Structure 1
Amino acid sequence: MYRSEFYVYDQGQPVKAIIRNYTKNDFDQLIEIQSECFPPPFPAELWWNKQQLTNHVTIFPDGALCCEIAGKLAGSLTGLCVEFDPNNLNHSWEEITDNGYIRSHNPNGDTLYIVDISVRPQYRKLGLGKLMMQAMYHIVIEKGYARLLGGGRMPGYHNVVDQMTPNEYLTAVISGELDDPVISFLLRCGRVPVGIAKNYLDDEESCNNAALMEWKNPFKSQEGGV
């Protein structure tokens, strides 16, 4: 089981934080986090439900992480294992994550795939998203996976959709010409773009596109040896 204790700074004051695996005892708070991160008009039926969360902690508990501050869950990060084909980037979030139920988890896969990351709005300036992502990197190394991968929304793309393609938008963000709240965050976490997945999810702001972003295991060679 994963557990890491450390301090973050809230308005200049150190606050103790814990990243650990979430369990059934955390389900109510995890659903509450979803409600805060995706408030109406986002449909409540698309928040985590208890069957999805039960699958997370039973099918692949290593990929079920949360961050706790003063006994309260501040955020969560969920992943599953898949076999990734770098020559086939086009997949949807629903297909690869089994719509969040992760029955598509492949225990023999080579890639830790991010299903969801959520941080309560009141804690978003503490750097918890980046710290949870780094915790997942630890799991990639410990399990010997080749990479961490996930599709990043591009919520700023709809502002320039008439001016550039999704790939051109991604290039502009990487070059620093544009800033995107999700892609720029993932770049700061050490993630590197590998391409665009079209029709990734029903997302008006991203025009249904996502940037596939990876972090390669630095201890694993391209040939597959550690």
Structure 2
Amino acid sequence: MYRKEFYIYGQDGRPVPAVIRNYRQEDFDGMIAIQQACFPPPFPSELWWNREQLENHAALFPEGALCVEIEGRLAGSMTGLIVRFDPEHPDHTWAEITDEGYIRNHNPDGDTLYVVDISVAPHYRKLGLGKWLMFSMYEVVVQLGLDRLLGGGRMPGYHRHAASLSAEQYVQAVIHGELKDPVLSFLLRCGRTPVKVIAGYLEDEESLNYGTLMEWRNPFKAAASVVELN
């Protein structure tokens, strides 16, 4: 099981104790409230967590069910499952690959940790908690010897540029620093790299239903591949 204790610096410059750990049943109500605050309408309310989904996360793959506490208060969470990913056939929807968030398709023999969700309460943003959660999930990838972390990133800024840019052009503009996107720019700062833009990835008005598949490769597995090739 996972538990990491560290300090972050609040906006007043004071070090504040933080903990990232596996979430459990007593966290569920708080996690649902955080997700509702993070994804207000027009984001579809039916995509917010329900207790059955969270119970599955904690039971089927507890290693991929992480939350962060600040001074003992729940501040955010991140969830994943293991899948077998075929780079030659990357297209999928969020609902297909996550079993609509229920992760009953979790495959312990897979090669990829797939991100189902990451949420940080608005009150705790700008403290770097999303990056801390992401890096903690990278540690899970390394610990389990998986090839990569993978997930589809929303593109919430795209609707403002869709009249002049294709989805692929929008992503390239973000990569080149010409535009900033709340989600894609965050994922790039976390070390994720784009794989493919997927149409119809998620019902998301702001992203015009597009998602950008982005990965983080396990550097230890990559190094091993180089040694084998040599």
Deviations 1:10-43 (A, max 9, x none): 1111110000000112111111211221235655
1:196 Cα offset (Å):
0.8
Residue of structure 1 equivalent to 2:92: 91
Whole-angstrom distance in 2 between the partners of 1:106 and 1:224:
27
Alpha-carbon RMSD across the aligned residues, in angstroms, is 1.6
Deviations 1:45-93 (A, max 9, x none): 4321110001000110000000011211100000000011112221100
* 1:7 matched to 2:7: yes
Alpha-carbon contact 2:44-2:203 (below 8 Å) kept: no
Within a 5 Å distance, the mapping from 1:64-213 to structure 2 comes to 64-213=65-214
Alpha-carbon contact 1:117-1:129 (below 8 Å) kept: yes
1:223 Cα offset (Å):
4.2
* CA distance 1:14–1:84, change in 2 (3 Å): same
The SS at the match of 1:130 is helix
Residue of structure 1 equivalent to 2:24: 23
1:207 Cα offset (Å):
1.1
Counterpart of 2:74, as a letter, is L
Whole-angstrom distance in 2 between the partners of 1:170 and 1:45:
27
**TM-score if structure 2 supplies the norm length?**
0.94
The SS at the match of 2:204 is coil
Alpha-carbon contact 2:19-2:68 (below 8 Å) kept: yes
Alpha-carbon contact 2:43-2:204 (below 8 Å) kept: no
Whole-angstrom distance in 1 between the partners of 2:137 and 2:41:
30
Alpha-carbon contact 1:151-1:213 (below 8 Å) kept: yes
Whole-angstrom distance in 1 between the partners of 2:3 and 2:100:
27
**How many residues are treated as equivalent by the alignment?**
226
Whole-angstrom distance in 1 between the partners of 2:141 and 2:212:
20
Q: Unpaired runs of 5+ in structure 2?
A: none
Alpha-carbon contact 2:43-2:205 (below 8 Å) kept: no
Deviations 1:144-186 (A, max 9, x none): 0000000001111111112121111111100001111100000
